[in-house]
Structure 1
Amino acid sequence: METWILITIAAAFLQNVRSTMQKHLKGVMGTTGATFVRFGFGLPFAFLYLALLVWVGRSLPVPNGTFFLWALVGGLSQITATFLLVHLFSFRNFAVGTAYSRTEPAQAALFGLVFLGEKAGPGAIVAIAVSVVGVMLISVARTALSVRSLVTSVFTRTAGIGLLSGTCFGLSAVAYRSASLALAPSLPAPDYLMQAGFTLGFVILLQTIVMLAWIALGEPDELGRIRAAWKPAILVGFVGASASFGWFSAMTLQQAAMVKVVAQVEMLFTFASSFFVFREWITRLELLGCLLIVFGVVVLIVQ
């Protein structure tokens, strides 16, 4: 199995752990605070990863204008996507809420084509399509199932928030890949770990500054709630930064859309969390949708 696939599966597991803990934090702080924790408390760990890479003798890249542009686009898009995803937890259960944002592989493929000229092969297109159908099934699993409900499900308020979250996640994935690849010419040889580590360090610093300013100006009371929950927040930051390092590494090695399709295995971890942690029941259609998502991943891996 290729390295990027193994990295992606590990990152998907870590991201689910982070999302599970963020939902718990949502009970003691607002959406903005729970979103900030993902970045602010992950910053020290992102710098630690970068410092370790330098310590073992890897060369630091020299950023250029292209890097800064894509890092800015990716960082702001991810803030928006994370905010929408955390907000989405207020509407439906944990598994279904996360599922709406899982259309990001298809959207990442589109952004990759538009901005990078990356074309998906027939097998990849099938994998993306099957995964998206799985997401649609999950979205209507608790309503009367019909062709109309499958189509109209994407026009509900909840679906709109989730789809927009997926759009922002898809855009940020392509932007991060573009930023990381822009660093390669300044290195003695391509080094996906350093490219990923440097991109992560810069982006998470940017996100921390933006979110901290936002909270200080608009929701200053949230700072007190964040301080009160600093212990679980540190764990969220560590797991989140670790997951991001995995994503950035995988997307440096492979097209963002391909990485995001394999990342759909997160739904397996999500359903496990939904059932065992939050005691939320899973319907047959939700299970079928999950199986379709996994099937899409398998199609991509074996093609």
Structure 2
Amino acid sequence: MDWTWLWIPATLAAAAAQAGRNAVQRSLTATLGTLGATQVRFLFGFPFALLFLAVVFAIDGGPAPSISAEFLLFVIGGAVAQITATALMLAAMRERSFVVVTAWTKTEPIQVAVFGFAVLGDPLSLPSILAVLVATLGVVLMSGNPANATGRGSLRPALLGLVSGACFALSAIGFRGAILTLDSGGFFLQATWTLAWSLGIQTLILIIWMILFNRPLLTACLAAWRTSIWGGLLGATASQGWFLGFALTAAANVRTLGLVEVLFAQFLSRRVFSHNSSRRELAGIALIVIGVGALLVVSTR
């Protein structure tokens, strides 16, 4: 049976869970700071990734995939890039609207498409490229004019968001590359196996850093477990969806469809953070919807 279509619902679920996780992390930056809120998604997400893996092993019944040097190179690269991207995103969110920063980070699909073609050989068709461009234009439109942003250092959050998007693009390529190196197990096992490794590496890196340089922060992260556990659950769930998508189709398709996260962020921004959207932002959302819709038509033909 052809399960390729599963990348679409998996990506939609991932985008919804990620918007919720970002909201939880943003609420934690006031007490834990940027690094502490960054660590939450990994420290509290890793146990859920292990739980997902145990369930998949129980259903699949096959042996664990073999680990190669190429797999480790891809997964470590993706893990480090994602830590950097998340920290930059949260730093930007401390200075600018939740939904607008989410939009800035979503300039990644074009970079994913280019990196995916150059590194992994993922195909690039003209219709799909146009769909990615339209959706990304919507993201750029949503970000508004940084010169009109209020507050100190208006260009700083824009740059942080843009660089964060580039790091997210590199992490997507790293994780898809790691999945593609595995030569055994079904796509569900390959995706979940890679997820467990990536979250484990990320958790280890950040715990070691905090033990060496900021032990009080590690204690504060553990003390905030009641809120953090939701960030971990939503983060692991989102990552499970992204990795399933990476196992089934090109990373550019997954990350472009993932732009619907901006719509979920828009809802959370209004409901939770009381941010109102401008006409410019609404026009950007319309372009995102058009681009994503076109991508789905192209990819399901």
Compute the displacement of 1:107 (Å). Answer: 0.7
Partner AA of 1:122 in structure 2 = L
Q: Which of 126, 131, 137 in structure 1 is aligned with 2:130?
A: 126
Structure 2: distance between partners of 1:233 and 1:249? 24
- Counterpart mapping for 1:130-149 below 5 A: 130-140=134-144
- Farther-moved stretch of structure 1 (65-74 vs 109-118): 109-118
Matched, 1:36 2:31: no
Aligned counterparts of 1:53 and 1:140: Cα–Cα separation in 2? 43
AA of the residue aligned to 1:258: N
Matches within 5 A, 1:78-97: 78-97=82-101
- Structure 1 counterpart of 2:208, one-letter code: A
Report 1:43-82 matches (<5 A). 43-56=46-59, 57-82=61-86
Partner of 1:210: 205
- d(CA) in 1 for partners of 2:145 and 2:266? 14
Whole-angstrom distance in 1 between the partners of 2:218 and 2:170: 29
| AA at the equivalent of 1:169 | F
Matches within 5 A, 1:244-259: 244-259=239-254
Q: 2: distance between equivalents of 1:64 and 1:200?
A: 16
1:46 Cα deviation after fit: 0.5
Q: Tell me the residue number matched to 1:180.
A: 179
Amino acid at match of 1:175: G
> Does the CA-based 8 Å contact 2:46-2:232 persist in structure 1?
yes
Are 1:166 and 2:161 counterparts?
no
2-side partners of 1:173 and 1:131: how far apart? 18
Cα offset, 1:273, TM superposition: 0.3
Cα root mean square deviation, aligned: 1.7
1:261-285 Cα offsets, whole Å, 9 max, x none, are 0000111100000001111111110
Letter in 2 for 1:48: L
Alpha-carbon shift at residue 2 of structure 1 (Å): 2.1
Tell me the SS of whatever aligns to 1:30: helix
Q: Distance in 1 between matches of 2:110 and 2:122?
A: 13
Give how far 1:135 is off. 1.6
1:158-196: CA deviation from partner (whole Å, max 9, x where unpaired): 22211111111011101101101111x2x1xx5111001
Contact 2:40 2:228 in 1 (8 A): yes
Rounded Cα–Cα distance in structure 2 between residues aligned with 1:246 and 1:139: 26
Mapped partners of 1:120, 1:163: distance in 2 = 23
Percent of paired sites with the same residue: 40
Structure 2 counterpart of 1:106: 110
Which amino acid is the alignment partner of residue 73 of structure 2? L
The question of whether the paired residues in 2 share the 8 Å contact of 1:142 and 1:283 is answered with: no
Q: Which amino acid aligns with 1:164?
A: V
Is residue 10 from structure 1 mapped to residue 13 from structure 2 by the alignment?
yes
If the length of structure 2 is used for normalisation, what is the TM-score?
0.93
* Gap runs ≥5 in structure 2: 149-153
Unpaired segments ≥5 residues, structure 1: 145-154
Q: Using the alignment, how far apart are the partners of 1:226 and 1:157 within structure 2?
A: 27
The answer for the alignment partner of 2:263 in structure 1 is 268
Give the distance between the partners of 2:174 and 2:58, measured in 1 at CA: 28
SS at match of 1:63: coil
